[in-house]
């Protein structure tokens, strides 16, 4: 069992990093509690895999320290850390049988034959591989190969954390959910720390208790799925999470209101004051789910022109024009709206966030 702590960890692949672009991971502080399920979410090339390899010891960070259970393991090679890693493309030793594959990490560590066999059987049972133990590992389906590589991680008794690097990318969609459920089940029964790297927000939000969102080598926000959805700390989190993403409208602030395209959106005066103090480019953020349509204009509503309506079964997404800006609104199916209509929208202050220079104004 392990608590993983990253202190000022940064990594650059080049020899002499100068600008921010030279760094794959910019200095960051993170603490992952023992037994938690964490997701590292971000677009391709944001530094997720680099960070994962730093934790497992495949990479030595250019700066900073990695602590596992309070012990500095920055310089320790992977085999000395009790960490399992599953890669995007399943790695199996295909000249061996399934059982030999599972036993391999134990054999390398000189574990006794009897104990190895007991562990292999236990893990095979957990991952539903018992029937195939004697089969040769080549020519198996992708999800089985991925289960075997997960099993090679779990077979070690002392394994403290499992790191998964987009493990479901190559799995067929119809078995993806099965494997995801299996993972969740493994996590619940073994209580190991789970770190799951993905660029798929649905995967991240369903699997993890805590999601760390990364962008361009930076951790932009770490929080529960709910926090990320309701209070994105950063405009990137706003539009990266959610489908469609958050509406982000350039605005200016006045006393007690944000002004978008000449229309006032009332906000708490202290927020407006802080936004002014923070400086930078100002944006008004609200998720399509929280925009309300009201029947007639009030002091707190804005007038928009509906440009397009997408039917999505149980709900519809309306794209509306607010002057030169575009606002997406999620409407329940019973609400009738047609393209070309104008209507009034309200942005409830509770769900509206002001962003100054990309960061949320608290």
Partner 1 sequence: MEKPTNNRAWLLVLPVLLVVAFSAVIPLMTVVNYSVQDILGPEQHVFVGTEWFRKVLRDPELHGALRRQLGFSLAVLAIEIPLGIALALVLPMRGRAASVSLVVLALPLLIPWNVVGTIWQIFARGDIGLLGVAINGLGLKYNYTADALDAWLTVLAMDVWHWTPLVALLCYAGLRAIPEPFYQAARIDGASAWATFRYIQLPRLRGVLTIAVLLRFMDSFMIYTEPFVLTGGGPGNATTFLSQYLTRLAVGQFDLGPAAAFSLIYFLVVLLFSYVFYTAMQHAGRSEAR
Among 6, 11, 47, 53, indicate the residue that binds partner 1 (CB under 8 A): 53
Beta bridge partners of 72: 67
What is the footprint of partner 1 within residues 151-170 (CB under 8 A)?
A: 152-153
The nearer residue to partner 1, 149 or 193, going by C-beta atoms, is 149
Burial class (CB in 10 A: 0-12, 13-18, 19+), 154: buried
Minimum Å gap between C-beta 52 and partner 1 is 10
Distance CA 347, CA 353 (A): 10
Minimum Å gap between C-beta 95 and partner 1 is 5
The nearer residue to partner 1, 8 or 77, going by C-beta atoms, is 77
Q: How many CA atoms lie within 13 A of 61 on its CB side?
A: 26
Given the rule CB under 8 A, which of 24-32, 96-104, 321-329, 330-338 is the region that contacts partner 1? 96-104
Among 34, 100, 122, 209, indicate the residue that binds partner 1 (CB under 8 A): 100
Minimum Å gap between C-beta 138 and partner 1 is 8
The nearer residue to partner 1, 95 or 362, going by C-beta atoms, is 95
Minimum Å gap between C-beta 127 and partner 1 is 16
Given the rule CB under 8 A, which of 145-153, 166-174, 250-258, 343-351 is the region that contacts partner 1? 145-153
Long-range contacts, stretch 287-290, CB < 8 angstroms, 24+ apart: 287/229, 287/238, 287/242, 287/246, 287/247, 287/351, 288/242, 288/244, 288/246, 288/247, 288/317, 288/328, 288/329, 288/330, 289/242, 289/330, 290/347, 290/348, 290/351, 290/352
What binding mask, one character per residue, do residues 243-282 give for partner 1 by CB under 8 A, x or -?
A: ----------------------------------------
Residue 316 φ then ψ, to 5°:
-135, 150
How far is the CA of 230 from the CAs of 55, 234, 290, 352, in angstroms?
30, 12, 9, 9
DSSP string, 63-91: EEEEEETTEE-TT--GGGS-EEEE-SSPP
Residue 339 φ then ψ, to 5°:
-60, 145
- Rule CB under 8 A: say whether 198 interacts with partner 1: no
- Rule CB under 8 A: say whether 121 interacts with partner 1: no
User: Are 143 and 179 spatial neighbours (Cβ–Cβ below 8 Å)?
Assistant: yes
The nearer residue to partner 1, 150 or 354, going by C-beta atoms, is 150
The nearer residue to partner 1, 137 or 168, going by C-beta atoms, is 137
Q: Total binding residues for partner 1 by CB under 8 A?
A: 29
Contact set with partner 1 (CB under 8 A): 53, 56-58, 77-79, 83-85, 87-89, 91, 93-97, 100, 104-105, 108-109, 136-137, 149, 152-153
């Amino acid at each position: 069992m392990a608590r993983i702590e990253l202190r000022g960890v940064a990594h650059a692949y080049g020899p002499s990093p100068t600008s921010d672009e030279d760094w794959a991971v910019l200095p960051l502080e993170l603490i992952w509690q023992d037994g938690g399920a964490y997701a590292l979410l971000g677009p391709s090339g944001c530094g997720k895999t680099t960070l994962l390899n730093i934790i497992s010891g495949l990479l030595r960070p250019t700066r900073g320290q990695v602590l596992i259970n309070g012990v500095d393991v920055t310089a320790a090679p992977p085999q000395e850390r009790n960490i399992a890693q599953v890669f995007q493309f399943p790695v199996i030793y295909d000249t061996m049988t399934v059982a030999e594959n599972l036993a391999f990490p134990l054999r390398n560590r000189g574990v006794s034959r009897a104990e190895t066999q007991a562990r292999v059987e236990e893990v095979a049972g957990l991952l539903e591989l018992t029937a195939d133990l004697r089969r040769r590992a080549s020519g198996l389906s992708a999800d089985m190969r991925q289960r075997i590589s997960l099993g090679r991680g779990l077979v070690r008794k002392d394994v403290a954390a499992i790191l998964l690097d987009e493990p479901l990318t190559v799995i067929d969609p119809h078995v993806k959910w099965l494997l995801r459920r299996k993972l969740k089940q493994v996590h619940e029964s073994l209580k190991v720390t789970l770190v799951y790297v993905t660029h798929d927000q649905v995967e991240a939000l369903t699997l993890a208790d805590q999601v760390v969102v990364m962008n361009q080598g930076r951790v932009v926000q770490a929080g529960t799925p709910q926090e990320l959805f309701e209070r994105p700390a950063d405009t990137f989190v706003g539009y990266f999470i959610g489908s469609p993403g958050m509406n982000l409208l350039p605005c200016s602030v006045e006393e007690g209101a944000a002004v978008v395209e000449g229309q006032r959106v009332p906000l708490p005066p202290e927020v407006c004051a802080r936004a002014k103090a923070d400086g930078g480019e100002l944006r008004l953020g609200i998720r399509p789910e929280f925009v309300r349509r009201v029947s007639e204009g009030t002091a707190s509503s804005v007038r928009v022109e509906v440009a397009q309506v997408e039917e999505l079964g149980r709900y519809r997404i309306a794209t509306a024009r607010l002057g030169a800006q575009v606002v997406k609104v999620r409407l329940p199916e019973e609400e009738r709206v047609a393209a070309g209509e104008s209507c009034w929208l309200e942005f409830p202050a509770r769900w509206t966030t002001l962003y100054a220079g990309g960061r949320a104004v608290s």
